[in-house]
Structure 1
Amino acid sequence: MSGARRPAVGWLPGWLPVWLSGCLSFTLLWAALLSTALALGGCGKREPDAPNADATGGADAEAAFTVLAGSEVKDLEPAIVAAGRAAGVTVKMSYAGTLDIVERINAGERFDAILPPNGAYPSLALQTPPLAREKLFYSRIALGVNAAKVTELGWGSRAPTWADIAKAASTGRLRYAMTNAASSNSGMSALFAVAAASSGKTEDMAASDVDAKVITAFLSGQRLTAGSSGWLADAFTMDPGAIDAMVNYEAVILRANEKLAQDQRLTLVYPRDGMISADYPLMLLREDRRAPYNQLVAALKAADFQRDVLGPAFLRPANAQVATASALPTAAIAELSFPNRLEVIDAVLTAYQSTWRKPSTSIFVLDISGSMKGDRIELMREALKVLSGASQATASARLTAFQGRERVFLIPFDDHVSDPVLVAFEAGDIDGSRARLATVADGLRPRGGTAVYSALSAALELAAQESREHPDRFVSIALLTDGESNSGMSFAAFRSRYGQGAPARVFPILFGEGNVDEMKRIAQMTGGREFDGRHSRLAQVFREIRGYQ
């Protein structure tokens, strides 16, 4: 990188490292103070799926160096953009899951570089290999365990193996949170670490080498799932007494500890037979963008960035001259390899979704009021058919489709709430279940008013019943409405009934003219999160929700 331009000393304001050290997420303050704290020029509103758009709003799309990154680095975006500007590079970032990153690039979307949390899968799956690869920082996958539970299990004196963890989970002694391995890199890395440890192979592992009993035992202890490592940590900190542990990046666990009382904080446990680290490589895709790539890499690997930005975020520096944050253990641990064959990755993830993980009940509350006529109802039908498995062309399409053992309920509503329609995806008749769901989707007809809260209340009562009758299932609700509720139960009545706790998490989709504030409050009340369907196709939004089901 000898020709790369290094950012000037002092590109960050002097107060920033001090402030960062006490803050879990610094995105909001950066957004509020960008003009004065950075003094490096404005930054236009970001549309997440608009590649090659000039970040300054100018007409020259090539002025921006476009990066498609994993969502795990979203909190670092302001600092990355600032470092790039100081080095003469305008950085424009978009976000996607690891599988989607690969599929979007293979489908022809143009980005100058990608920044996945782990470079192993993209290196195997990209049709055109990256032209350069530079590790920017890294974070180990760890098990964050309540201190009392560490003592109870005897893991304080000697770290457990993955088999030990699986045994504690299967006997009910360990309840943990982990992201969906088919949607998020932290869950995927943990799954493959268990697979590698159970097979006794760190390289050239075949699907037949994996001990399915160990993985099933391990997954039996999972009580909370998510499509995002950050959201998982936030959900954990909302009720840290509900479960014992969290599988996540060590950086995310340590930042979560800053939100917890001293006696609730998690102890980092690294299985002694190994784990997989996220290596965060910046991977160049276009030869004509090598110069800004080199400049950006130099800026992000510079000592000031690695010390002042990564250190407070508990990320391990790639620059060997920068010390690792004192809160991070420095003892050597065993590193397991990510599978080096695509067919193994696909086989393990498919078995995880359809056989190994706890099954789920997914309840979809669907607005069919008069305002859904035309394109809106067609988009809803398309989204349901995509989830039914109508397309099997890509890995993410296969893995986000409804799986065997899954119970799917559809509750259509206008000013009347229809009875729930159950489509059970049984392993022996997946095609029949797909056809039934498609028939139900095609039969949806817009009409009438909008009784959002009556429908959502019915869904929550159904969720409570499912949890009672099937306690081994993940139960969740997705809500799609394009307008204000004007019939049935009021929001105030709904809040009075469920404001102190709901039997399932609700994931509202912002769509059309729906009440954004109320949708966000529903997510907060029930422990869910909202998704924005106003700027992306509903099919993609529905697929993203699948990571939380």
Structure 2
Amino acid sequence: MTAIRRALALLLLVPLAWLTACGRPPLEVVIASGSENRTLEPIVQDFCRDRSVTCRFAYQGSLDIGLALAKDPPDMDVVWPANAIWIELFDRDKRVRDLTPVARSPVILGLRRSRAAALGWVGRPVATSEIVAAVRDKKLTYLASSATQSNSGAGAYLAMLSAALGSPDAMTLADLRKPGLQDTVRTLLSGTTRTAGSSAWLADLYLKGLEGGTAYDGMWNYEAVLAETNAELTRRGAEPLYAIYPSDGVAAANSPLGFVDRGKGAEARAFFDALLKHMLSPEVQGRLVALGRRPAIGEATGAAPDPSWNYDPARLVPLIRMPEPAVVRAALDLYQEALRRPSLTVYCLDFSGSMGGRGETELKAAMRFVLSHDEAAQVLVQNGPGDRIVVIPFDAAPRSVTRATGAAADAASLVEAVEANRAGGGTDIYACAAAGLREIRATPDLGRYLPAIVLMTDGRSEDRQRDFLTLWRATGADIPVFGVTFGDADATQLDTLAEATRARVFDGRRSLREAFRAVRGYN
């Protein structure tokens, strides 16, 4: 070894804390992580503190992590998505190095135990065909995250496709065109009563439903998230979710860690290598098992099962064969445009005087994006022909109402309706939201759709929240009111509406386009 190489090797062995003590700035590491890793963050943070490294977690959906890799430079040093497939789909410049699984968790169906018992599914294997029959007979509904925005949703969906195919082989593009396969999966997805852009938020939605008197039948989610949810249900004295492992195969998250080189040098690379080694160590793998995960390799031997809800992390489960990335992408487009339960979305758009200038320009650009099939399809949020869209611009009162389908041919009329507006007047978010409720209730065959109101504003209106929520409750339907903030908007009113209707608020101050894209994962 040359003198230079020996010196470099010694440098990599110098403790990061010593380097910091000698006056070098402490290393800062941004970890782009899926929301399902929140309960694992303390393990990583302990490791970071031991090395005097500042680690900041940026929780994002799996799709968001993939899309963020296109930035130059990317705004993360480490990626930790739920599955490597999202990196394979979107990391076109191969920025991620040494992507290595550190834990696994299958995506399964958790049902209220009473519902599972009523269906006769307690204590025996359940095939996907039985789930199809229960949905078709109106005996079962569930929550599920979006297949195009969240890995848990994608995992459940890909397993549905595999089961409908009825073959152990990986799916092909030709398989996706089979009418029988599409009909079966469309039926399965019609059982979805609410959707979400992340697995963690979906679990929160289930719990909020109980708090609000709505007992959802269950949800598709990670085995580990179901374990965490059941721990909370037990604490509340509530009925647990019974684990259904479809006997014809499931998809599993593999939680890979990967390094993103954005010019921080050997110190950042050495930290990643040490972190990866730490996460794969027997000690940490044991801690992951204790938190409901399965180890990166092998089964979770010694993990404590809980027969009360059919949980056994050491159980062998049949895994589907993951298709090639091109097939996954085609399957996700098929989900978004043809197979998922259609959405019914009312866009309440603030054109009050304070939106003049930049606000009006950005709002119109965001709506052109979200309504354009080709642009929205680049990030898998395109509307399908079965969707229904209502646009209501407002100021101190609702303006005109424009209705259309999600078909590409209808987009022009919706965009034209948005473009015709100019900022001016006061702000009344509740009047527009109430108009949106009336539009939803007047929709023929409302039960076919997943309804939602998206309320975008940069201001604050006279507080008529009580009147609106009285009207909302009178509808008797599960209609979330999502908020999108802009400018100097006071989010208090939107937060209250979102909390009361089991929705959430998205921050559009940096990018209205990104906010509208994100909200599509929840409808």
- For the criterion TM > 0.5, the same-fold answer is yes
Q: How big is the shift at 1:153? A: 2.4
- Cα distance change, pair 66–212 in 1 and its aligned pair in 2 (3 A): same
Distance across 2 between alignment mates of 1:317 and 1:302: 10
When residues 121 and 517 of structure 1 are mapped into structure 2, their CA distance, relative to the original with a 3 A threshold, is closer
Partner in structure 2 of residue 362 of structure 1: 345
Q: Equivalents in 2 of 1:495, 1:470: separation in Å?
A: 20
Tell me, yes or no, if the aligned pair for 1:415 and 1:451 is still in contact at 8 Å. Answer: yes
Question: Is 1:164 equivalent to 2:150 in the alignment?
Answer: no
State the match for 2:457 in structure 1.
481
Structure-2 separation of matches of 1:113 and 1:457: 44
Distance 1:264 1:170 in 2: 25
Contact 1:64 1:90 in 2 (8 A): yes
Residue aligned with 2:145, SS: coil
Query: CA offsets per residue over residues 199-225 of structure 1, 9 Å max, x none?
Result: 234444213224112211211211121
Instruction: Identify which of 207, 218, 221 aligns with 1:248.
Output: 221
What is the match of residue 63 of structure 1? 27
Whether 1:284 aligns to 2:265 is no
- In percent, how many aligned pairs have the same letter? 28
Give the corresponding residue for 1:27: none
Tell me how far apart the structure 2 counterparts of residues 263 and 482 of structure 1 sit (CA, whole Å): 40
Give 2:171's aligned residue: 205
Stretches of structure 1 that go unaligned for 5 or more consecutive residues are 8-39, 41-57
The aligned runs of 1:252-331 (5 Å cut-off) are 252-260=225-233, 264-286=239-261, 288=266, 289-308=268-287, 310-311=288-289, 313-318=291-296, 323-327=302-306, 328-329=311-312, 330-331=314-315
Q: How does 1:10-409 map to 2 (within 5 A)?
A: 63-110=27-74, 111-123=76-88, 125-129=90-94, 130-210=96-176, 211-240=181-210, 242-260=215-233, 264-286=239-261, 288=266, 289-308=268-287, 310-311=288-289, 313-318=291-296, 323-327=302-306, 328-329=311-312, 330-342=314-326, 344-389=327-372, 391-392=374-375, 395-396=378-379, 399-409=380-390
1:416 pairs with one of 394, 397, 410: 397
Q: Which residue of 1 aligns with 2:468?
A: 494
Q: Please say if residues 85 and 325 of structure 2, whose CA atoms lie closer than 8 Å, have aligned partners that are also in contact.
A: no
> Where do 4+ consecutive residues of structure 1 move more than 6 Å?
2-7, 319-322, 499-502
Cα drift, residue 395 of structure 1: 3.6
CA–CA separation in structure 1 for the residues paired with 2:124 and 2:301: 30
Distance in 2, Cα, partners of 1:169 & 1:502: 22
After superposition, the Cα gap between the structure-2 partners of 1:490 and 1:6, relative to the gap in structure 1 and judged at 3 Å, is farther
Superposed CA offset, 1:109-167 (max 9, x none): 42332111011342354224443122222211111012222223232242112222112
Count, aligned residues:
486
Q: Which runs of 5+ in 2 are unaligned?
A: 1-8, 18-22
Name the residue aligned to 1:516. Answer: 491
Q: Which amino acid aligns with 1:459?
A: G
Whole-angstrom distance in 2 between the partners of 1:245 and 1:492: 30
1:88 offset after TM fit, Å? 4.3
Distance 1:532 1:219 in 2: 29
Amino acid at match of 1:116: P
Secondary structure in 2 matching 1:225: strand
Partner of residue 5, structure 2: none
- Contact 1:124 1:340 (C-alpha < 8 Å) held by counterparts: no
Change (3 A) 1:82 1:121: same
Give CA deviations for 1:467-503 in whole Å, capped at 9, x if unaligned. x6421100001111111104xx623443555478874
Q: CA 1:6–1:189 in 2, change beyond 3 Å: closer, same or farther?
A: farther
Quick one: distance in 1 between partners of 2:14 and 2:81? 24
| Contact 1:87–1:299 (CA under 8 A) maintained in structure 2 | no
Name the structure 2 match of 1:459.
Answer: 436
| Preserved CA contact (<8 Å) 2:403 2:414 | no
Query: 1:500 touches 1:525 (CA, 8 Å); kept in 2?
Result: no
Shift of 1:272: 0.9
Distance across 2 between alignment mates of 1:496 and 1:424: 29
What is the alpha-carbon distance in structure 1 between the residues aligned to residue 173 and residue 123 of structure 2?
33
Shift of 1:302: 4.2
Alpha-carbon contact 1:417-1:455 (below 8 Å) kept: yes
- Give 1:340 deviation, angstroms: 1.7
Q: Structure 1 residues 491 and 199, CA, compared in 2 at 3 Å: closer, same or farther? A: closer
Residue 268 (structure 1) shift: 0.8
What TM-score does the superposition give when structure 2 sets the normalisation length? 0.85
